[in-house]
């Protein structure tokens, strides 16, 4: 469940936060929290800490991809808004 934090957070940060440095820093914090929870709680779910670390490693590029998709979403929304606000005379 903690893996949802960087995935959904990255998508929403990429879409709604215009300063990419701030959004990327928050995304890194979301990933760090999720990775720590994944690794720490793995034995409670019948896995080892190593398996939790492997999941955290796999989560990293997926987290980056959702952040990138959010920035694409923001760009397309901005372009669509600019196109709809232009008037032809």
pLDDT higher than 90, residue 42? no
d(CA 42, CA 51): 7
pLDDT higher than 70, residue 25? yes
pLDDT bin (cut points 50, 70, 90) of residue 88 is low
- The region of weakest confidence among 8-12, 25-29, 85-89 is 85-89
Quick one: the chain helix, strand, coil %, rounded to 5? 85, 0, 15
Whether 65 and 6 have beta carbons less than 8 Å apart is answered as no
Q: pLDDT (tens digit, 9 = 90+) per residue, 49-61?
A: 999 899 999 999 9
pLDDT higher than 70, residue 87? no
Whether 39 and 49 have beta carbons less than 8 Å apart is answered as yes
């Amino acid at each position: 469940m903690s893996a949802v934090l960087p995935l959904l957070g990255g998508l929403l940060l990429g879409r709604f936060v215009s300063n990419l440095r701030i959004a990327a820093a928050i995304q890194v914090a979301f990933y760090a929290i999720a990775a720590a929870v994944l690794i720490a709680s793995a034995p409670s779910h019948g896995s080892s800490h190593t398996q939790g670390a492997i999941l955290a490693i796999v989560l990293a590029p997926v987290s980056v991809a959702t952040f990138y998709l959010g920035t694409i979403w923001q760009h397309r929304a901005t372009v669509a808004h600019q196109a709809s606000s232009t008037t032809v005379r």
